[in-house]
Amino acid sequence: MSRKKEINDLLKYLKKEYKKQKIEITEESIYDTLQNYRFSAEEIKMTADNLFPLWIERFKNKPNIECFHTMNQGRFLQFRKDHTFESKCIKLYVSLDPNAYFEGVNIIFDFIEKNNMKTASKVADKIRSDEIVIRLESTADAEKVIEFINSNPYLVANARPTNPFLNREGIVGIGYDDLISYNETIAYFVSDYLNNTKRPSYDSFIKYMNDKYVNLFQNQIELDTLIQSKKYQRNLARIQSDYYMINNPELYIYNNYRIVFQAILNNICDENYKKMYDCLEESKFIYAKTTSVDKYQLFDNYIRYAFEKYNHNIDVVCEYLYRYSQGDENSITRDNGYRDLFIYNITPYKVMIFTNNDIYNYVSSVVGYDRTIRTDNVTTDLGNKDFDMFIEGLRATFEAHGENQLVSCIPELLKGNFKVMSNGDYNFRNYFIEKYNQDQLAQFAVNSLNRIIGDREIPTEVLIGNVIFEILKDDYGFISQDRGR
C-alpha cells in the first residue's frame, strides 16, 4: 500500500472512529494514535523498561557509545556519542515486533558503535511505532545506517511500519525536528484539520497543509494561534531553560517550527527522503546564527547601516522595515549578511514588537533623527513624512532628467499635476497620486514650496522653478549640474 493511500485511509478512520467512540479529537489523542500505529491493544500495554538495565550492562564497555538513563527523559534510554547536539542530526525511526525489540536494538547500536558514529539516539520504555529513534549528525552516516537496517534480514523480518506521515526508505521512517517533536507537530496539525473537516482525504489534507504554511510563515495571519498553543509555549520554555547557548530562543523555535513544517510537507507530498538533508543543513545554519547574535543589537545596527546606505532617508529605512514586517524578506539588504541574519534572528512579526508598532519613531530614536533630513553635508529642518517624500521626489526627478526638467516641472506641480515627478526607486509619484486628489495635490505643492522658500524674498522677475532649484542646491544638496539624458 502506498503512503498516500495509508494517509488517506488513516484520516478517514480517525474521523469516523473518534466520532463513533465519542473520543475528542485533540493533539494528545492523535499523537497516541500515531504512537501506537499498527499495534494491537495488548501490545500497546507492553512495557520495556525492564530491558534498560540489560542494555546499560551490555554497552557499558563499548568505547564508541554511551548508554545511560536520565530522569530528564525518563521514558527513554539514551545512546550517545560525543554529546551531539540534537539540531545537528537527521532523525530515523524504527519500529519492531515486541519479541524482536531487545535484539533489534543490539544490532542497530552495535553497528553505530562499531562505525564510531556521532549520535544522540534513544529507545522507548514501551512498545510503540517510534520506539527506536536514531539521530545522526552526518548524512553519510545516516545513509549507511539506512542501508544497513534495510539489508539486515532479522530487522526486516521483524519490522512494523512507522506512521505514514513519516517518509520511508524500506523499513526506516525518516523525519527532521531539531528540538521539537516531529510526531507531536504532525498531531497538532492533524487534530486541527480533522476538527475543521467533514470529509477528510489525502488531497484535502495536502491543501490544508499548504494553506497553513502560507498563513503561518508567509502572511503570518495564523502565527499567533500557534505561538499561544500549549505545545509551542512548552517547547519555548524548555529551550529557554535547557539550552542556554541559544541567545534567541524565541527566534530559534520559530524557525524550528518553520523547518519542521517544511519537512512535514516534503514527507507527505514527496517520496524523496533526502530532502530532509536540506532541512538539516538549514537548521545547522540557524543554530550557528542564533547562538552568536544579539537580536536587539542586530536590529539597531541594521537601522544605522540602512540610514547611511539610503542617503539618510529615514522614510526608505522605515518602508523597508515595514515591508519586512509584512513578510517581504528581500526588503532587507544582503550587505554584511543582514538579510540572512534577519531571517534567522528577527521574525517579521517581531519588527512591530521591537518598535512598539511605531517604526518611524523607533528608527528616529536609533539614528538620532529629530525630524531632520541629512543629505551629504547639509542638515535642514523638516516636518512630516510627506514633505520628506516631496523633497526626495524632486531629487529623483533631478537625478533622472536634469536641472531643466526639474525647473519646468515646478509650475506643473503647483497645478496639482504630479505626473511630471519621477517615480524613482521608491514610488514617489505614485505615492502622492494615490494619496491625494488633484486639488489636494495642488495645495500640498503650494504648502511644500512655501516651506522650501521660507522667509526669503522672491524677485518677481525670476521664474519660480529657478528659485526653487537654487534653494534645493543650497539647502538640500542638489548638485548644480544638468544631468539630462
Q: How much is the pLDDT for 374? A: 36
Give the Cα-Cα-Cα angle 237, 231, 22 (nearest 5 degrees).
Answer: 150
Q: How much is the pLDDT for 367? A: 85
Q: How much is the pLDDT for 379? A: 30
Domain range list for the chain: 3-37+181-290, 44-160, 295-370, 385-476
pLDDT, tens digit (0-9, with 9 covering 90-100), for 126-141: 999 999 999 998 999 9
β-partners of residue 122 are 78, 133
Burial class (CB in 10 A: 0-12, 13-18, 19+), 146: buried
Separation between Cα atoms, residue 400 and residue 389, nearest integer Å: 16
Separation between Cα atoms, residue 268 and residue 173, nearest integer Å: 12
Check: CB of residue 25 under 8 Å from CB of residue 104: no
Separation between Cα atoms, residue 118 and residue 102, nearest integer Å: 22
Separation between Cα atoms, residue 90 and residue 146, nearest integer Å: 11
* DSSP alpha helix (H) spans, 196-275: 202-217, 223-228, 230-242, 249-269
The SS3 call for residue 369 is: coil
pLDDT, tens digit (0-9, with 9 covering 90-100), for 11-46: 999 999 999 999 999 999 999 999 999 999 999 999
Separation between Cα atoms, residue 440 and residue 448, nearest integer Å: 12
- Find where cell 519555548 sits: 236
Phi-psi sector, 118: left (phi>0), alpha (psi -120 to 50), beta: beta
Separation between Cα atoms, residue 90 and residue 271, nearest integer Å: 16
Separation between Cα atoms, residue 485 and residue 479, nearest integer Å: 16
Phi-psi sector, 26: left (phi>0), alpha (psi -120 to 50), beta: beta
- Find where cell 517520496 sits: 271
Extract the C-alpha cell encoding 194. 480533522
Looking at residue 257, its amino acid is Y
Longest dimension (CA), the chain: 104
From residue 126, how far is each of 56, 57, 92, 96, 137 by CA, in Å? Answer: 17, 19, 18, 11, 26
Separation between Cα atoms, residue 47 and residue 124, nearest integer Å: 9
Give Cα 477 distance to the centre of its chain: 41
Check: CB of residue 49 under 8 Å from CB of residue 124: no
- Find where cell 523480518 sits: 157
Separation between Cα atoms, residue 194 and residue 25, nearest integer Å: 7
Question: Among candidates 82, 83, 84, 88, which has minimal Cα distance to 284?
Answer: 88
Q: How much is the pLDDT for 288? A: 79
First to last CA, the chain: 69
φ, ψ for residue 172, nearest 5 deg: -95, 125
Separation between Cα atoms, residue 299 and residue 306, nearest integer Å: 11
Separation between Cα atoms, residue 316 and residue 326, nearest integer Å: 15
Mean pLDDT score across all residues of the chain: 87
Separation between Cα atoms, residue 478 and residue 469, nearest integer Å: 8
Looking at residue 228, its amino acid is Q
HSE toward the beta carbon, residue 436, CA cutoff 13 A:
18
Separation between Cα atoms, residue 112 and residue 141, nearest integer Å: 9
- Which helix (H) or strand (E) segment is 10 a member of? helix 3-20
Separation between Cα atoms, residue 128 and residue 105, nearest integer Å: 14
Q: How much is the pLDDT for 83? A: 60
Per-residue pLDDT of the chain (485 residues; tens, 9 = 90+): 799 999 999 999 999 999 999 999 999 999 999 999 999 999 999 999 999 999 999 999 999 998 988 776 889 999 998 766 666 789 999 999 999 999 999 999 999 999 999 999 999 999 999 999 999 989 999 999 999 999 999 999 999 999 999 999 999 999 998 888 999 999 999 999 999 999 999 999 999 999 999 999 999 999 999 999 999 999 999 888 777 678 888 888 999 999 999 999 999 998 899 989 999 888 888 887 777 777 888 899 999 999 988 888 888 999 999 988 888 888 999 888 888 888 877 878 788 888 888 898 899 888 876 443 333 333 333 346 788 888 888 988 888 888 888 888 898 898 889 988 988 767 788 888 877 887 788 888 888 888 888 777 766 556 788 888 888 888 887 864 443 33
Give pTM, 2 decimals: 0.65
- Find where cell 523638516 sits: 382
Give the Cα-Cα-Cα angle 161, 277, 122 (nearest 5 degrees).
Answer: 50
Q: How much is the pLDDT for 157? A: 98
